[in-house]
Amino acid sequence: MSRGEPRERWCRLKGNLLFLMKNKSSEASEVVILERCWVVEFKSKTDVSIILKFQSGEPDLYIEAASKPDCEAWAVALGEANSEGLRNKIQQLRRLIMEIKEERASEEARQFLPSSQVDSLGEPQFTSIQRIANEPKLEFSLACKGLVAATRDRKLNTFIQVSVVHPAEHILTRYSSTEIVEGTRDPLFLTGVTFPPEYPIYEETKIKLTVYDVKDKSQDTVLTSVLPDHKEPRADVGRSFLGCATFRVGDLVKSKEQQLTLTLRFLSRTSDGGKTVGTIEVNLVKMGEFEDGEMDHITTDAQDQKFLCFLPLKSCSCGFLSATCAHNTENLERMTDRRAKEECALVRECTAPEGLSGKDNLPSLNAVLKNPICKLYRFPTSDNKWMRIREQMAETTLSFHVPKELINLHIKEDMRRNQELKDLGELAPHWDNMRKSVIAHCDQMLSMYQDTLAELGKHTGSSFKSSCSKGEKTLEFIPINLHLQRMHVHSPRLKDALYDVITVGAPAAHFQGFKNGGLRKLLSKFEAERRNTGYQCIYYSPENTAKAKEVLSNINHLQPLISSHADLLLNSASQHSPDSLKNSLKMLSEKTELFVHAFKDQLVRSALLALYTARPGCVLKKPAVPRSSAEESDDLKHQNHPSQIKRQDSIPHHSEYDEEEWDRVWANVGKSLNCVIAMVDRLLEKDNSSKTKEGESDPSAADCKVLHAGGDWYEQLYPLVITLKDCMGEVVTRAKQSMAFVLLQELACGLPQCLMLTLRRDIVFSQALAGLVCGFIIKLHTSLHDQGFLQQLHTVGLLVQYEGLLSTYSEEAGMLEDMAVGISDLQKVMFKVIEAKSEDFLPIITGRREHYVIEVQLPAKMFELLPQEIKEGKLLRMYPVLFNVGINEQQTLAERFGDTTLQENINQENLELLKEYYNLFTEKMPPDCLPHFQEQNDLKGLLENLHQNIQAKRRKNVEIMWLAATICRKLNGVRFTCCKSAKDRTSMSVTLEQCSILRDEHQLHKDFFIRALDCMRSRQTQGALNESDDPETGCLTDNKPTSRHFYPVALLLVSSHLLVVWLILSLALLLAKYQ
């Protein structure tokens, strides 16, 4: 059990409820609700224990089974007992039923179809709809006229439910719905119907349109969502059936006017044909064509019509699985909820590129995007015209691809580090024991990385991680709800525009929790503790530790290059090719100079001394103990003086150690290279007999032994090249050992906290990097014809602005700390664009911690559009900035009773980074590269206004977000919007920004701003979704309290006195429970 000694209990599992009974026949003494929890099963063969952990922070539930098989069976049963597991079972059963129905329907269809419509395999053939690649197969808008109400005085509140009858199935499937229009009998619906490219719709497909009159909105939202597809709702559930109409897709597509006027009929048992209750107009929509003659209809009735949309869009991420080409209709209905995909927000705008072929874009985009879902809207403009808006939601394969690539790099890097520690050689007992302890801990972490990578390799299904899974250990490297949403705006008088929106949950280590804060606090505390390690190990600053990693990386990178260029030099000499010899010598000289320069650092010299004193049998003139405060202060003075060489704290001095030996060792590499250069010059000079001999010999060849007798070039160069390799090998051996010794000190000073912090930082960085790579690829694709942006990209770099909506209260403060460090670490990421050599367009990640290069692959036709600098492989810098403003009720508590210093510090620090980018931008870029369709506000004035708002420290100052977003868009930047799970707060922010763009840039009619906003946020327009989905977790809330014994936090907003009452009652309940 959760506390004390284990007690014997009988357990009974029913649904998501676990009943605990004192004996087999007694009544349940306790009930555990298996929601927002996960099962931890011990892997040992003898352990029969299971632990249930709860996200709410409640005590763990410890359970022991009678045997190992029983333990495994209970672990599986408990893991599938929550709402997500039950929903998956239901979906599997539904898929099985659909497969059986499809088989029966196809057999029946083959019997009745003409022989011309059946292929050689006996499968029925249907007429497909010809559409542009990657565009929706079918889109249409709806409007009703002359609807008849049940009573004369009643004003109708109507919406249309769209259902599909597939020709091979003959089964009615509910697909989507429009918004509700109130108070009119001639409703014109702003929400259209769209079918994505993969949806199996044909000319023979029938579409049923059912019109309802909503009486009780609250009942309708809940009860109609649980009806079977073939059942109509009862009249007493909040809405009444007005009428229905059916049409074939082929009739709409082939109609001359691309419009159908259908008669709505109320079917009853007493009348054969049904009663006519009005008409419904179906208009085929094609982006690029405009509707005429309808604005009078909407402008004359606009004042009488009220558009009702339900609660702001909420997510059902628990059951939100990938819709595989829309064959699984239930999954498709879930995906059509534009925020049920737990939207994600990077708002970027760009005009549609002219002359860019969609087919050229498709291969590389399809490699990173999948399962697109479309929604269609039409909104009036201020000049009484229609504009059409198509929203396309898509998952990205990068959610799993980038973390798997990173983990693979971490494994290789850690394996190299462990081997370097083993190669340190013989050490004194103290240091050797330290090394063994470090290697043991590192092996455990390495095993954990390998297990995680293996589990991710087994993952199938959805290509994104829902918020319900954010506490799962196997998915902790995966970003939460990383999606792309594209808004395509087609205006009558303006150029088409694309606004790409990406949202992602705040990068944070949710599985590890936030009891002790996030990375920002943990790293600061860890660094302070390392300074007080005493005599057990040597303290190296974070800068020197990073320098040691850089030196090791340079060694591993340059040594094989120098060896290969040396072999090429010998190969050119054997072929007696002067030109090839010159080129090989040039490359060898450049790489060797970089190699020698990498070791001109005091850190290598001091680390060699420290390693020498750590050898067994070493006698020190001064013992390796902490020095006095006077000596430390004296060293500090020397460190502050620019003319003095900085020396590590606590590094001992050895009387017999020759510090100049290292200088001689790495200087021999340069001398050996000079010998090679002199010999090549001499060989080339003798080969070119037509040129006069130079008057003076090369002074660098003074120490070289040159063969005066003529002979083969290879024989004369070979001994010099071997000498160069030997000198380089000696340098590599010493430098690797010294830098590995520095890393040993870093790890030993903080075991095991150091490795756990590294793991946490890797997790947060993995989530942040996946979003960044997605944003960069989409931005690059949409801006290939924008020469100003491409010039800015390789000259200045790309601005990446994150809009955070996290509070500074409780766990979200820890999330914000993690997020701040993760986004800051993105500064160490560089991008490189290369031409794809195969059909695999996924990005390639190389490098090591603190220095990664992302290689983005483009098809040949797209690659040719890039500037020469980018095509030559120039590295592209990223400038990430984060501005956070908490906006929920928890932020109210933080502002009244807590602390907002964290948010203020983050905003101030990132304002300086934004100013730095702006100054760099104004220095290197011409002013005409800014987007021309935006108002040219003074960027300097916007920055000053942002500075003033940050300094003002007002409560929930959302002006900071608007100013930062405006500056980012005007600087051609990439925008992200993040909250805890990229759902409610994120979707509210994104939809508001989208409607603001439609109003400011595309002349959205001012009277329709709120209506457009409500349509985009509506649940009803997205199809039948269960209203019991929890807005924060995406899990079912039926019979699920938010906590077992705590009162709702919302009550605290009523009065500060309730806070005291709440704390007292909660404490009393806790004490009573555990006494």
The tokens for 1005 are 């009619």
Say how far apart CA 98 and CA 105 lie, in whole Å: 10
Active site residue 71: no
Q: How far apart, in whole angstroms, are the C-alpha atoms of residue 468 and residue 35? A: 10
User: What DSSP character marks residue 538?
Assistant: -
- Cα torsion 103, 104, 106, 107 to 10°: value is 120
Neighbours of 896 (CB within 10 A): 13
The set of residues, in sequence order, having a beta carbon less than 8 Å from that of 257 and lying 6+ positions away, is none
Instruction: Say if residue 197 is preceded by a cis peptide, omega within 30 of 0.
Output: no
Between CA 508 and CA 767 the distance in angstroms is 8
C-alpha span between 46 and 32 (Å, rounded): 27
Instruction: Assign 3-state DSSP to the chain and report helix, strand, coil percentages, each to 5.
Output: 45, 20, 35
CA distances 261 to 249, 291, 637, Å, are 13, 16, 89
Catalytic residue among 979, 995, 1015, 1035: 979
Coil, strand or helix at 458? coil
Give 41's strand partners.
50
3 state SS of 979: coil
Q: Tokens at residue 1030, please?
A: 């929890």
Q: In degrees rounded to 5, what are phi and psi of residue 447? A: -65, -40
Cα 1022 from Cα 991, distance rounded (Å): 15
Q: What is the DSSP string of 838-860?
A: SS----EEEEETTEEEEEEEE-H
Identity of residue 414: D
Measured from the Cβ of residue 191, the count of other Cβ atoms closer than 10 Å reads: 26
Task: Name the DSSP letter for residue 704.
Answer: -
Q: Which residues pair with 375 in a beta bridge?
A: 391
d(Cα 408, Cα 450) in Å, to the nearest integer? 8
Which of helix, strand or coil describes residue 719?
helix
Q: Which of 170, 186, 187, 169 is nearest to 178 (CA)?
A: 187
CA distance 630 to 626: 12
Rounded alpha-carbon distances, angstroms, from residue 26 to 6, 9, 16: 19, 11, 20
The conformation of residue 566, written as its DSSP 8-state character, comes to: H
Angle between helical axes of 901-924 and 811-825 (0-180°, round to 10): 20
For residue 287, the 8-state DSSP code is T
For residue 583, what are the contacts with CB-CB under 8 A and spacing of at least 6?
572
Phi-psi region of 258 (alpha: psi -120 to 50; beta: other; left: phi over 0): left
Distance CA 947, CA 952 (A): 9
**Alpha helices (H) in 953-1027, listed in sequence order:** 959-970, 984-1002, 1009-1017
Q: How many CA atoms lie within 13 A of 752 on its CB side?
A: 11
d(CA 1020, CA 1001): 28
In degrees, to the nearest 5, what angle opens at C-alpha 986 toward C-alphas 1037 and 820?
A: 110
User: In whole angstroms, what is the distance from residue 372 CA to residue 379 CA?
Assistant: 23
d(CA 496, CA 719): 68
Residues marked active site are found at 979
